[in-house]
Chains A and B, each alone.
Chain A
């Protein structure tokens, strides 16, 4: 077997401990539940017809649902997410929660603007729709039949970050990073909403070295993200950088990407192993 094929096979279908997969499945269900329960969906009810532009999967919808329709989707989705977190009928409840989230996020994006805020979580959750249901917190031995949903989710997340960088390069070239682009992104501010730390955004915009360094760092980070699929020890570091990127995007541009930040932390950090290490180091010696 070629090295390439072996690497792809390991990235997609490699072994993971059942408890880590169970943790990620549970955490993704919790995140979906939070997005479903806390999202500002009801306020979209009664959107006038001329401003309603349904996304393709909702093309059949004649209009935004009434407020009670949003509430019903939120109640069903959040309840299913709670049941999935509790591992009750895990496959069915995870699927129901995911489907409600898909519809709610799709409705939010049915106002003409392509919204990406929910897409990382939605896409990385896809492999868990068919994840094994017999996982236990005591499953410490890495197995392929346990690990594939998590491995596939990491591939999907890495592909998404790479594609974001790829399109920057394709549409704007290296100028995106080393030209005046980031400077003007910061100075113009967001087209929707408001920056939370306007003064810092202006400072980056006014200091060309800072805006070029920021652009180069972001583009380099996104384009090199897939390296974490072969150098797995880099995953926590890339997850932390992604969190920093999404937090600064919120501070400088006011854009809500907390679902992305938490999703990368859940998927790319081995929290059960980290908890073991912390317990080990906290335990009295001798």
Chain B
């Protein structure tokens, strides 16, 4: 491509530089405008989906002698488990084996947090935000998808 502006020869932009920039922009804009994810190519869908008073969350429930549905907050687990909600969200379409693999991957760190846990459940929680007496509270509608537990001694 010829320079559209008259440029002194010593100020010409190197061909490699032009190709790098045009290539990067082509990739960035293609992924961004079409809207596909292939990190580091991304659709830049930051908070793009409108939120309402309902949302579906994927959570962990533990059964203990005192509490049949003790929520195991992923924030209580080490960093490597904190994004587990995303793999869990893919489980409805997954095999039983895959569901059990994910459940057992989360069982170990959950036992560290809830030592008397007898069963761990992956739960789809359909939540609704409502205002009651000036306070915002979340109503839960949990639906267990898969359960696993510590091996018997």
Contact = CB atoms under 8 A, between A and B. Distances in A.
Interface of A: 1, 5-6, 9-10, 12-13, 15, 40, 43-51, 53, 55-57, 64, 102, 105-106, 109, 111-116, 119, 122-123, 126-127, 129-131, 143-145, 148-149, 152, 155-156, 159-160, 163-164, 166-168, 170-173, 175-176, 179-181, 184-185, 187-188, 191-194, 202, 205
B20 A127 contact: yes
Given A47-B80, A112-B90, A116-B44, A144 B105 contact: no
A43 B79 contact: yes
Nearest to A14: B5
Interface of A, secondary structure class, is helix
A100 B89 CA distance: 30
B25 A155 contact: yes
B111 interface: no
17 contacts: A40-B79, A50-B87, A55-B39, A113-B86, A127-B20, A129-B20, A130-B16, A130-B17, A145-B14, A167-B43, A167-B45, A170-B48, A172-B49, A172-B50, A175-B50, A176-B48, A184-B53
A111 B86 contact: yes
Contacts of B21: 12, 126-127, 148, 152
Nearest to B14: A130
B50 A176 contact: yes
B17 A188 contact: no
B32 A188 contact: no
Given A12-B21, A114-B39, A119-B42, A160 B28 contact: yes
A220 B108 CA distance: 46
B153 interface: no
B80 to A, nearest CB: 4
Nearest to B79: A43
Nearest to A123: B28
Interface in B1-43: 3-5, 7, 10-14, 16-18, 20-21, 24-25, 28-29, 32-33, 35, 37-43
B83 A6 contact: no
Contact of A184 (B33, B87, B129): B129
Nearest to B109: A48
Interface string B58-76: 0000000000000000110
B37 A114 contact: yes
Given A123-B40, A166-B33, 4 more contacts: A51-B106, A127-B17, A156-B25, A159-B28
Contacts of B4: 1, 5-6, 9
Contacts of A6: 4-5
Nearest to A184: B51
A53 B35 contact: no
Nearest to B38: A56
A167 B48 contact: yes
A9 B5 contact: yes
Nearest to B74: A192
